[in-house]
Amino acid sequence: MIKSTHIFQPATTLFSLNIGPAQVIRGKNALAQSGEAIASLGKNPLIVGGNRSLDIIQPHLQPLLKSHNLKFTQVNYGSDCSETSLANLRQAVVNQKADLIIGIGGGKALDAAKLLAHQSYLPIITIPTSAATCAAWTALSNIYSDQGAFLYDISLARCPELLILDYGIIKTGPPRTLVAGIGDAIAKWYEASVSSGHSEQTMIISAVQQARVLRDILFQKSTVALEKLGGETWQEVVDATVLLAGLIGGIGGAQCRTVAAHAIHNGLTHLCASHDTLHGEKVAYGILVQLRLEEMLQGNQLAITARQQLLKFYNEIGLPKSLNDLGLKEITLSELYNVAEVACNPNSEIHRLPFRVIPEQLVAAMVSTTILLELEKQNLGTNLDVDTTTNSQ
């Protein structure tokens, strides 16, 4: 199997990059000041979100739209960004003669809204209500089954026309969503450095290095940010998970995306018992599994150091380190094997690792994410301090 044909593309191949939204408006009260920007994109918006997000945003958004003489309708996207919910949303666009989509919520709601706009050839505004993912930024949507299992992703024609990052609204989300966003964002480094760390291409080198910067910002600032929600450091961390994480995906493009951490997330979504945990929480656990694979199958010493560094960081901010932490203590061996088979399917990103992985090996890695070498156990707490300047893994 040819693992990544794009590496061998001739120099004349046409590249299309969707770097970022045409406009980002951010601030503590950003939504209230975005009326003109919204009105410039359409007169009849369809607002797409989940019930919680729509309830939170109604008192802010509705008076704003009315004051700009916009006729609007709102619709619940359902529980997942699935083909069924997309069909219902497309019907709503036709029924309401909408000329603009406004997506409100977390990753799944924004993915549904973005894909709806793409399929309906309409402009899209994203208003994230949590810092759990970079979905408000990217030109990508993930499609799930009606039961919440990950199926595939779709590249969209462009990033949103407008992203409104209102810190006041983000602050209404549970702190756990920001923790999950941190897990999803740090995965950029662990995945991009493996898939694209040896690239000679200027834009890819730039994306990989920014992924390292993003990880370092999060190592340095996350604990303080979570101690003072809404504070300045908290805002910096929100910018990192919502904006910078998205920018890295934009600059790196299709060649600089996910590897094993997201493949393991995708496998886990096929377990109903995993649906109570957030995308970034599963991805964070997936990073540890990826590092275990690098240790076990490649003998990679840097991966051991990196995993121990992450275990300490996860302890500090509350990211899951094991199947137990993900609420999957009771998982059977056959369920675990099914997850591993999904994660190792022939089209899975797990095969961007520089070695072959089979389900049996993945199962072994999934149950041993917290294992430490005896010597390192004794030194725990002295040698495992987070060092963001010297660690190269």
Chain positions contacting Zn ion, by CB under 5 A: 184
CB of 245 to Zn ion, least distance (A): 8
List Cβ neighbours of 284 (8 Å cut-off, separation of 6 or more): 180, 182, 183, 184, 186, 187, 261, 314, 319, 320
Q: What residue number has its CB nearest to Zn ion?
A: 184
Annotate 212-236 with DSSP letters as a single string. HHHHHHHHHHHHHHHHSTTSHHHHH
Q: Which residues contact 174 (CB under 8 A, 6 or more apart)?
A: 130
Q: Minimum distance between the CB of residue 133 and Zn ion, rounded to whole angstroms?
A: 6
Q: Which is nearer to Zn ion, 111 or 184 (CB)?
A: 184
Which of 184/281 has CB closer to Zn ion? 184
Q: Minimal distance in Å, beta carbon 323 to Zn ion? A: 19
Q: How far is the CB of 69 from Zn ion (least distance, A)?
A: 38
Phi, psi of 353 (to 5 degrees): -65, 150
Query: How far is the C-alpha of 308 from the C-alpha of 392, rounded, in Å?
Result: 14
Pick the closer one to Zn ion by CB: 184 or 325. 184
Nearer Cβ to Zn ion (34/255): 255
Residue in the structure block whose two tokens are 């109903």: 272
Cα separation, 119 vs 126, whole angstroms? 16
Say how far apart CA 51 and CA 380 lie, in whole Å: 45
Q: Strand locations in the chain, DSSP E?
A: 23-27, 45-49, 73-76, 100-105, 124-128, 140-144, 150-155, 162-166
Rounded Cα–Cα distance for residues 243 and 137 (Å): 7
Q: How far is the CB of 275 from Zn ion (least distance, A)?
A: 16
> Look-up: residue for tokens 């036709």?
94
Select 74 or 126, whichever has its Cβ closest to Zn ion: 126
- The CB-of-262 to Zn ion minimum distance in angstroms stands at 6
- Which one, 80 or 184, has the nearer CB to Zn ion? 184
Of 161 and 184, nearer to Zn ion (C-beta) is 184
Contacts of 235 (CB under 8 A, 6+ apart): 167
Q: Classify 331 as helix, strand or coil.
A: coil
Rounded distance, CA 147 to CA 4, Å?
31
**Residue 283 Cβ vs Zn ion, minimum distance, rounded to whole Å:** 5
Minimum CB–partner distance for residue 286 and Zn ion (Å): 9
- Nearer CB in complex with Zn ion: 113/263: 263
